[in-house]
Amino acid sequence: MLNILQISDLHLLPDPEGTLMGVNTENNFKRVLEHAFTQHDCIDLILLTGDLAQDPTETTYQRIHTILSDYATPALCLPGNHDDALLLRHILNQTPVSSEKIWSTDHWQLICLDSQIPGSQAGRLAPNELDFLQQQLNVAPQRPTLIAIHHHCLPTECAWMDTMIIENNDTFLALLAQYPQVKLVLCGHIHQIMDKRHRDIAILGTPASCFQFKAHSPQFALDALPPGYRLLNLHPDGHFETQVYWLDQQDPGLDFSLAGY
Ligand SMILES: [Fe+2]
């Protein structure tokens, strides 16, 4: 079995003492890691699904590398809309951290996609990204597959958030539907839970490690929920279990008066 810890939307700042929405995002990232590794045995892989940095700098990514390295567990990173994808791949690519797009085990294949549109908050899968996905699915038709991607491919029902949905989600989902080995799509970006299905594929979104957005809100709004993360247990035969976990309390600094994320 492969046990994956998914952490998303760290939004670390250049200054480790800095705050976003009143929250020290670096502390919350550390709290999430500590909680996960204290509460759960046998985490085989940490999967970080984008927005690792709020304002990407070399030192921000280096600090993330240092924090992850303390856990001596393989970590796999992909970029979100706030990240500098090139810088991320340059720095977060030394053992035990990787930003490779493919992670294969004896049984499962993980495919990490880049949904970034440079200069935009929204998501899209560029033609070369879709080609890459299709090639990987063609070469491993029997291997249960997890696809990790920053942006969401099904609506959240938060109107403001859904302006950033993967623009060509129909193309993406139609492609996946041709490959029965695809078992789940994991995203970040939405700072809340998503638990949907598209045909036989689970479409799962995961809370942020920094702070959460309010579900079903037509406009930007924070939620009082604490930092969260997801665990997945992937079985060799292609079935899996998953659960979202929450920390005991939100950062007391969370400032609901701030908007304009
Ligand atoms: Fe994002």
pLDDT digits (tens, 9 = 90+) for 53-63: 999 999 999 99
Q: What is the average pLDDT score of the chain?
A: 95
Average pLDDT over residues 23-49: 97
Q: What is the pLDDT of residue 258?
A: 66
Distance (angstroms) between ligand 1 centre and the Cα of 142 equals 32
User: If you count them, how many residues does the chain have?
Assistant: 261
Average pLDDT over residues 129-149: 97
Distance (angstroms) between ligand 1 centre and the Cα of 254 equals 18
Q: How far apart are CA 245 and CA 167, in angstroms?
A: 30
Q: What is the pLDDT of residue 259?
A: 56
If pLDDT is split at 50, 70 and 90, which confidence band does 248 have?
confident
Q: Token match 């700042």: residue?
A: 13
Q: What is the pLDDT of residue 261?
A: 42
Distance (angstroms) between ligand 1 centre and the Cα of 210 equals 12
**120 in Cβ contact with 189 (< 8 Å):** no
- Taking only the tens place, the pLDDT of each residue in 85-119 is 999 999 999 999 999 999 999 899 999 999 999 88
- Compute CA distances 130 → 102, 156, 241, whole Å: 14, 23, 27
Average pLDDT over residues 68-73: 96
- Taking only the tens place, the pLDDT of each residue in 158-215 is 999 999 999 999 999 999 999 999 999 999 999 999 999 999 999 999 999 999 999 9
Domain ranges of the chain: 2-242
- Taking only the tens place, the pLDDT of each residue in 227-246 is 999 999 999 999 999 999 99
CA angle 39, 77, 5 (to 5 degrees): 20
The pTM for the full model equals: 0.96
Q: How far apart are CA 143 and CA 149, in angstroms?
A: 19
- Which tokens in the block code for residue 249? 């309390």
Q: What is the pLDDT of residue 108?
A: 97
Average pLDDT over residues 58-70: 98
CA angle 207, 146, 176 (to 5 degrees): 110
If pLDDT is split at 50, 70 and 90, which confidence band does 78 have?
very high
Q: What is the pLDDT of residue 260?
A: 44
The CATH fold of domain 2-242: Purple Acid Phosphatase; chain A, domain 2 (3.60.21)
End-to-end C-alpha distance for the chain, whole angstroms: 39
- Chain centroid to CA 255: how far? 24
Distance (angstroms) between ligand 1 centre and the Cα of 237 equals 32
Distance (angstroms) between ligand 1 centre and the Cα of 51 equals 5
